[in-house]
Chains A and B, each alone.
Chain A
Amino acid sequence: MNSVNPLVPQKVTLLEIAAETPEIKTLRVAGEGGAPFDFRPGQCAMLSLPPVGEALFSITSSPDCRDSLEFSIKEAGSVTRALHALSPGQELGLRGPYGNGFPVETLKGKDLLFIGGGIGLAPLRSLINYCLAHRAGYGHIDIVYGARSPADLIRRAEINKRWPAAPDTAVYLTVDAEFPEWSGHVGFVPSYVSELAFTPENRVAVTCGPPIMIKFVLKALEELKFTPDQVITTLEMRMKCGVGKCGRCNLGSKYVCKDGPVFTLAELKTLPAEY
């Protein structure tokens, strides 16, 4: 064999599968020696379940967690449906890591504002836990997270207890509408961001969520005078190869799988808005 085929997955075992919401489950997988590879927060991997297929997901666990990898997955198509139906012990395929990941080095010393919506918390969580594990390297951390309803919020142990209890960290939760069991903030994420009036000084905003949320979050941040290079987002596209060759995920000459999925708003402004 001349070279290793990058499309061939390695084998991992599903250790744990837990329902986060009616549509989202978190899968924890590991190879024989724990996490099958090192990665940076924000990178992705291709989960593989033959004969259904493969799909790319962001790794939601922190790189510091070396015994396994976690993926929070929303049911949307055939692969995610099949993944949701798995039980612990099941073997599946995995390849990666793919993409650039968040710029953990350039974020050092900055105050961080995380803005997530729904399943969009998954890639942010990897970075949040990384920053909390390397707490001294980063400034104040604010986390604004929302979903359609209280039942749609994921990682509840973290958003309700662990993160608010972490040093110099604040968590702001919101849901789109009134619910009897919800006593917290009601309203869309972008307007909550405006309401909280974060200042741009020495702060970087990192956002991920549904396209429509991202669109209005970017607008809100612009109004709060964040400059385009102070705003970071992570994109999702249909992908097949993960290595910049199959042709699906390009924005102009950049491939989301390879050059992304993390882009600053300044970078995105130079690229076609085909995402």
Chain B
Amino acid sequence: MAEHHISAAAKIRAAVAQDLLSGRISLLLGWEKGHFQWQSRPLFARDGADLERLAWDSFCAVNLSRYLPEELKENEKVGVLVKGCDSRALNRLVQDRAVPRERVVAYGLPCPGMLDAGRLVEAAGGWPDEIAEANGRVVLKGGGRESEVHRDSLLLDKCRHCLYPDPVACDQLLLAPVGNREAPDRFKAVEEREQLSAGERYAYWEKELQRCLRCYACRQICPACSCRECFVEQEQPRWLGKAYDASETFLFHLIRAYHVAGRCIDCGECERSCPVGIPLQELNRKLIKDLNALYGPYEAGLDPEREPPLLTYAPNDPAAFTEK
């Protein structure tokens, strides 16, 4: 991994070690490496030995805030490493009263954008043995081949459209800020879909959703899905059948999209987590776009003091309650 990342991980370890070892926090949520360089998994660090495994590189996509509600049941105070999106996820959970902010220490990691293993394989023409980064470029070696590509071309979809790579509302910023990004194409896919007729749109989504496994990974990783019991699981009455039928699958995804509307922080974790690659973030972005148009620009999770538009009562609400 790139030099600056190795030193960054050491820097992070040093910065959090004091809090963990002194007992200010009893658990630190971070990342550790998986089997391969392109994998990281959540790290639940309780002591110095655990911290040794802490990693920070271009493959730390998993949003760790999602683990806070559960871990706070067992720990008085939990530290968490947050990228830009993760920090907004934390704000989101705090706003939903799912996490008491005073029991969390958020260590901010400005994020260069995480890389997509699938794109690495495409770029390298196979699985790389070695991935090295320098100056915005990535060198991929393996199978007797070597290729060098622009880092941005390997970003996860969720990171391509990121506006705020620097953490907000963190307690401590551990690395130098990277500055806001431009994402001119953020709503491009949504706009393309809007050009289609209703029938064509239905056909598009029917095709995409027919492979949905109903594994609910999208919901499980979502920082806006903070219901204690999802309507999917409710049995009396049962809202959603378990048949793999287009109407049931549509119902799940549409209700979820509407339920997180205005609260979705656009972290794209749902789409990244989907084992069959359904472009779920298009649904969420469509609602973000519409809400922005209806109620004025709003970025969920950016400002913990600002309530989401659909949770706000405003007498001068620009939209009528009923429309012809």
Q: Are A and B a genuine interacting pair, yes or no?
A: yes
Asked if B305 is at the interface (CB within 8 A of a chain A CB), the reply is: no
Across the A-B interface, how many residue pairs have beta carbons closer than 8 Å? 3
Q: How far is the CB of A52 from chain B (nearest CB, A)?
A: 10
What are the nearest 3 A-B pairs in CB distance?
Answer: A78-B236, A78-B235, A77-B235
- Closest-by-CB residue of B relative to A81 is B236
**Which residues 74-105 of A have a CB within 8 angstroms of B?**
77-78
Q: How far is the CB of B215 from chain A (nearest CB, A)?
A: 16
Which A positions have Cβ atoms within 8 angstroms of B? 77-78
Which B positions have Cβ atoms within 8 angstroms of A? 235-236
Point out the residues of chain B lying under 8 angstroms from A78, CB to CB: 235-236
3 contacts between A and B (CB under 8 A): A77-B235, A78-B235, A78-B236
Q: How far is the CB of B234 from chain A (nearest CB, A)?
A: 12
Q: How far is the CB of B187 from chain A (nearest CB, A)?
A: 43
Point out the residues of chain A lying under 8 angstroms from B235, CB to CB: 77-78
Point out the residues of chain A lying under 8 angstroms from B236, CB to CB: 78
Point out the residues of chain B lying under 8 angstroms from A77, CB to CB: 235
How far does the alpha carbon of A78 sit from the alpha carbon of B234 in the complex, in Å?
12
- Closest-by-CB residue of B relative to A78 is B236
How far does the alpha carbon of A77 sit from the alpha carbon of B238 in the complex, in Å?
13
How far does the alpha carbon of A78 sit from the alpha carbon of B237 in the complex, in Å?
10
Q: How far is the CB of A90 from chain B (nearest CB, A)?
A: 22
Q: How far is the CB of B102 from chain A (nearest CB, A)?
A: 37
- Closest-by-CB residue of A relative to B235 is A78
How far does the alpha carbon of A78 sit from the alpha carbon of B236 in the complex, in Å?
8
How far does the alpha carbon of A77 sit from the alpha carbon of B236 in the complex, in Å?
9
How far does the alpha carbon of A52 sit from the alpha carbon of B236 in the complex, in Å?
11
Q: How far is the CB of A54 from chain B (nearest CB, A)?
A: 14
- Closest-by-CB residue of A relative to B237 is A78
How far does the alpha carbon of A77 sit from the alpha carbon of B234 in the complex, in Å?
12
- Closest-by-CB residue of A relative to B238 is A78
Q: How far is the CB of A72 from chain B (nearest CB, A)?
A: 23
Q: How far is the CB of A7 from chain B (nearest CB, A)?
A: 15
- Closest-by-CB residue of A relative to B236 is A78
Q: How far is the CB of A50 from chain B (nearest CB, A)?
A: 14
Q: How far is the CB of A159 from chain B (nearest CB, A)?
A: 34
Q: How far is the CB of A78 from chain B (nearest CB, A)?
A: 6
How far does the alpha carbon of A77 sit from the alpha carbon of B235 in the complex, in Å?
10
Q: How far is the CB of B235 from chain A (nearest CB, A)?
A: 7
Q: How far is the CB of A250 from chain B (nearest CB, A)?
A: 21
How far does the alpha carbon of A78 sit from the alpha carbon of B235 in the complex, in Å?
9
How far does the alpha carbon of A239 sit from the alpha carbon of B140 in the complex, in Å?
51
Q: How far is the CB of B161 from chain A (nearest CB, A)?
A: 40
Q: How far is the CB of A150 from chain B (nearest CB, A)?
A: 31
Q: How far is the CB of B168 from chain A (nearest CB, A)?
A: 43
